[in-house]
């Protein structure tokens, strides 16, 4: 399985997890860090793990198109899961 496909699956998991945290722990929306930064932090950790696993090989491990698609998927899930639960979502 390619790294791009693993990243898309990871983006799905991160989006569901962040959306679930927003629904199940309402106090989490009051901390100083916006939830979309949680997604960026998770992606940075994924990139770091892939970089460490791959070594110092040249080139990016994940294509830019895959990063953008993964970020869009994670943000959509992060937005629509609380919306489906009836919680008002503030992105900023």
Give the pTM.
0.85
Number of structural domains, the chain? 1
Q: Is residue 37 part of a domain?
A: yes
- Locate 25 and state its tokens: 């722990």
Q: Is residue 89 part of a domain?
A: no
Tens of pLDDT, residues 46-88: 988 888 887 776 666 788 899 999 999 999 999 899 889 888 7
Q: Is residue 20 part of a domain?
A: yes
Tens of pLDDT, residues 3-52: 889 999 999 999 999 999 988 988 877 788 888 889 999 999 998 888 88
Helix locations, the chain, DSSP H:
3-24, 35-54, 64-84
Which residues span the domain enclosing 70?
3-84
Judged on CB neighbours under 10 Å (0-12, 13-18, 19+), 59 is exposed
């Amino acid at each position: 399985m390619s790294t791009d496909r693993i990243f898309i699956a990871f983006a799905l998991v991160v989006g569901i997890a962040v959306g679930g945290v927003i629904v199940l722990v309402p106090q989490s929306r009051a901390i100083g860090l916006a939830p979309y930064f949680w997604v960026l932090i998770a992606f940075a950790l994924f990139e770091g793990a892939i970089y460490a696993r791959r070594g110092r090989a040249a080139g990016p491990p994940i294509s830019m198109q895959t990063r953008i698609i993964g970020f869009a998927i994670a943000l959509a899930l992060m937005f629509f899961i609380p919306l489906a639960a009836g919680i008002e979502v503030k992105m900023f």
